[in-house]
Amino acid sequence: MNHDEPVSNYVFPKWVNKLPLYALSGAGLLLCLIVFVFWYWFSPKNLEVGYAPVQPIPYSHKLHVSELGIDCRYCHTQVENSSHSNIPSTDTCMNCHSQIKTQSPDILKLKDSYVNNKPIQWVKVHNLPDYVYFNHSRHVTAGISCYSCHGRVDQMERVHQVKPLSMSWCLECHRAPENHLRPREFVTKLDWKADNQLEVGRQIKEAYKIRPGEDCSTCHR
Amino acid sequence: MSALVVGNDDPSKRTPLVLGGHDFKSVSDIICRPVEAKAPQWWMIAFGVAVSGLCLLIAMLSKLVWSGIGVWGLNNPVMWGWDLVGFVFWVGIGHAGTLISAILFLFRQKWRTSINRFAEAMTIFAVMSAGIYIVFHVGRVWVAYFLFPIPNSMGIWPNFRSPLVWDVFAVSTYFTISLLFWFVGLIPDLATIRDRATTKTRKIWYGIFSVGWRGANRHWMNYERAYLILAALSTPLVLSVHSIVSFDFAVSQVPGWHTTIFPPYFVAGAIFSGFAMVVTLMVAARELFNMKDFMTMHHLETMNKIILATGTMVGYAYGMEFFMAWFSGNTFEQYAFINRAFGPYYWAYWTMVSCNVISPQLFWFKKIRRSIPMMFIISIFVNIGMWFERFVITVTSLHRDFLPSSWFYYSPTWVEVCQFIGSFGLFLTFFLLFLKFLPIIAISEVKGVMPAANPHQPGEEH
């Protein structure tokens, strides 16, 4: 290139004058879009709620709980005493199914598990991160119903997640437990509803001396 | 030429800020030359070395992220080591830029004009190096956004009572303002390069960044106003940023950290180290780019005077810490300081004292103040000393916990050492790019302090 020859001063087309305006408004829109994407799509409400994995045996809570009237604790025996609410072993199922519908193909799977001493590989639905120490007995004996976290399982053909199980969702209740507390005896009555939840909740909070922790170490030990 | 300066001990006359009888054109020519000429060989070699350093930094950070923070030598109770030392070191260096560009501007110290661009660039790159430390010392860098109060599904916020959060705001504000200040100051000069451009690429790129500057009266009016506002905004930051960095230590309960003298002491130290870094880089740059007429001995001498003043303040603070430890009657405090000087890390303490307290005192002698090799060596000593100061404060205060069973002798792993070397790579990579692609002296401002810009004749009554 000949260096003596000056380059024209007019290297930019005229629309460039408007570029800062476009760039600024574009950046503003992009920012709004990013916020929206994170707020909507990346929230646990969107990512977690509705998870309904197919189970090895299509066990229906609706049939067993609503129609046959079995209590949650008949199968989830440890929920009141242990941090972990257990999935029943095949033995529990065989209490009835050694007699009932023994020839159904699904029950044959159950029998196979029972005879060969091989557990059914149920798929876990409500999954908390490993660094969260959730204690079922602590909550159930304090008057928090199964319903508050798991929803109307008694109406589900296949269990699905209804709550986001996010930390802010946990804290919502830890900060105002009266919105969810109920008498202990109704904890497994999923259709129970107080006439005035706030009042009942406050009375129970008083009676059971409920003071939910909000320190990090309450849940992260 | 030198007679002009050395002979100028007459206090009634100002030392000229530009030597060599330049006119406006030759000033533009000299300052724009590095941008317009092909990169010299020393630059290519230095850039290669700097980029290798940057790659080393990237490798070390990848190792850190991949393996976790255990690759550093930190353990209870020394949970801060070279990471915080490196952070404070770089943030401190960053203080010279704002001081020169903002405070000296407001005080109408015209000698700042030929070094402010340089110092501001150094500030920005130093704060970037510091920022790398801040972001990566959290360990799980993918959750570094926890540092900011962003609404999230955990329903948690940073603890606003913690100085660590103030630090995030202080440093990010500082970086933003410094960058804006630097850029605004660059606009007229970028336009100069654009107008002189002989290639289309240069015309386009410098055209983009000079954002349509035509040098109109209205442009200058807005520019002056924006520059003044930014100077006023950055002035408190010179004092606040390092005060807040010192709160990271001073707000805690650890003997050796929990001291009210920390904020002024840290600010003095920051300016001390920043000016030393400017001198180190300037001595090299004026030689390599042949800009001795603009970065004159007078400039260097003035810088050295500030190094002497702040170095003395730092030395006073060291002494005062010991006095307060004795005066407080608190045995833990006394132990912390005796242990600092005579405990297992005595070597770090005495390195710090000899570099920071003794070496700048040599600047009382005018000969040394005006000697290029001496000021180069002393400025490097000051930087070493200031690094050791942060090491002494961070590590010696932590390694003796309240429980003697947890006492610990911390030494860095090779990852920490290489990461620190790599942070210099990051700094120098950007700095060399700056030297090559931007006018390293504020052309328009230097022209403003030349006699040609002032219609008065020498000796004439104003």
The pLDDT tens digits of the residues spanning A192-201 come to 999 999 999 9
C-alpha distances (whole Å) from B302 to each of A103, B15, B120, B384, B410 are 98, 11, 17, 21, 40
CA dist B398 and B388 (Å) reads: 15
Q: How many residues does chain A have?
A: 221
Predicted pLDDT at B206: 93
Per-domain residue ranges for chain B?
A: 21-148+174-453
- Model-wide pTM > 0.90: no
User: For testing the chain B interface, which of A4, A5, A11 should be mutated: the one with the most B CBs within 10 Å?
Assistant: A11
Predicted pLDDT at B6: 45
Contact A122, A87 (CB under 8 A): yes
Residue A13 with chain B: CB contacts under 8 Å: none
User: For testing the chain A interface, which of B32, B153, B154 should be mutated: the one with the most A CBs within 10 Å?
Assistant: B153
Tell me the shortest Cα–Cα distance from B436 to chain A, in angstroms: 20
- Across the interface, whether the CB atoms of B198 and A6 are under 8 A apart is answered yes
What's the mean pLDDT in B271-285? Answer: 93
pLDDT tens digits, one per residue of A65-89? 999 999 999 999 999 999 999 999 9
Q: Indicate the pLDDT class of residue B1, thresholds 50, 70 and 90.
A: very low
Predicted pLDDT at B9: 60
Predicted pLDDT at B14: 75
- Across the interface, whether the CB atoms of B153 and A11 are under 8 A apart is answered no
Residue B152 with chain A: CB contacts under 8 Å: 168
What's the mean pLDDT in A41-51? Answer: 89
Buried b (16+ CB within 10 A) or exposed e, A120-152: beeeebbeeeeeeebebeebbebbbbbbbbbbe
CA dist B89 and B269 (Å) reads: 10
Predicted pLDDT at B450: 85
What's the mean pLDDT in B107-135? Answer: 91
Provide CB contacts within 8 A for A150, sequence distance 6+.
A126, A159, A162, A163
What's the mean pLDDT in A114-142? Answer: 94
Q: At residue B114, does pLDDT exceed 90?
A: no
CA dist B422 and B60 (Å) reads: 8
Predicted pLDDT at B5: 44
Predicted pLDDT at A46: 87
Residue B154 with chain A: CB contacts under 8 Å: 166-168
Q: At residue B3, does pLDDT exceed 50?
A: no
Task: State which amino acid sits at residue B6.
Answer: V
Average pLDDT, chain B: 91
Q: At residue A8, does pLDDT exceed 80?
A: no
Tell me the shortest Cα–Cα distance from B68 to chain A, in angstroms: 17
Predicted pLDDT at B460: 58
Predicted pLDDT at A20: 86
What's the mean pLDDT in A108-117? Answer: 94
Chain B residues contacting A via beta carbons under 8 Å: 152-156, 195, 197-200, 203-204, 207, 211-212
pLDDT tens digits, one per residue of B298-309? 999 999 999 999
Task: Assign B173 to helix, strand or coil.
Answer: helix
Name the nearest CA neighbour of A92 among A68, A69, A73.
Answer: A73
Predicted pLDDT at B461: 55
Per-domain residue ranges for chain A?
A: 14-42, 46-86+123-219, 88-121
Q: Indicate the pLDDT class of residue A1, thresholds 50, 70 and 90.
A: very low
Q: Indicate the pLDDT class of residue B457, thresholds 50, 70 and 90.
A: low
- Across the interface, whether the CB atoms of A7 and B199 are under 8 A apart is answered yes
Tell me the shortest Cα–Cα distance from A8 to chain B, in angstroms: 8
Say if the ipTM goes beyond 0.85: no
Predicted pLDDT at B362: 96
Instruction: List residues bridging with A181 in a β-sheet.
Output: A144
Predicted pLDDT at B154: 86
Q: At residue A6, does pLDDT exceed 70?
A: no
Instruction: Express as a percent the part of chain B with pLDDT over 90.
Output: 71
Q: At residue A112, does pLDDT exceed 60?
A: yes
CA dist B94 and B124 (Å) reads: 7
CA dist B165 and B328 (Å) reads: 30
Buried b (16+ CB within 10 A) or exposed e, B295-315: bbbbbbbbbbebbbbbbbbbb
Predicted pLDDT at B15: 79
**A53 prior amide bond cis, ω within 30:** no
Q: Indicate the pLDDT class of residue B7, thresholds 50, 70 and 90.
A: very low
- B445 vs B9, higher pLDDT: B445
- B457 vs A30, higher pLDDT: A30
CA dist B187 and A77 (Å) reads: 74
Q: At residue B459, does pLDDT exceed 90?
A: no
- B151 vs B418, higher pLDDT: B418
Is the Cα torsion angle A92, A93, A94, A95 positive or negative in sign? positive
Ramachandran class of B14: left when φ > 0, alpha when ψ lies in -120 to 50, beta otherwise = beta
Buried b (16+ CB within 10 A) or exposed e, A191-212: eeeeeeeeebbeebbeeeeeeb
* Residue of chain A with shortest Cα separation from B214: A9
Predicted pLDDT at B10: 67
- Across the interface, whether the CB atoms of A43 and B153 are under 8 A apart is answered yes
pLDDT tens digits, one per residue of B212-245? 899 999 999 999 999 999 999 988 988 899 999 9
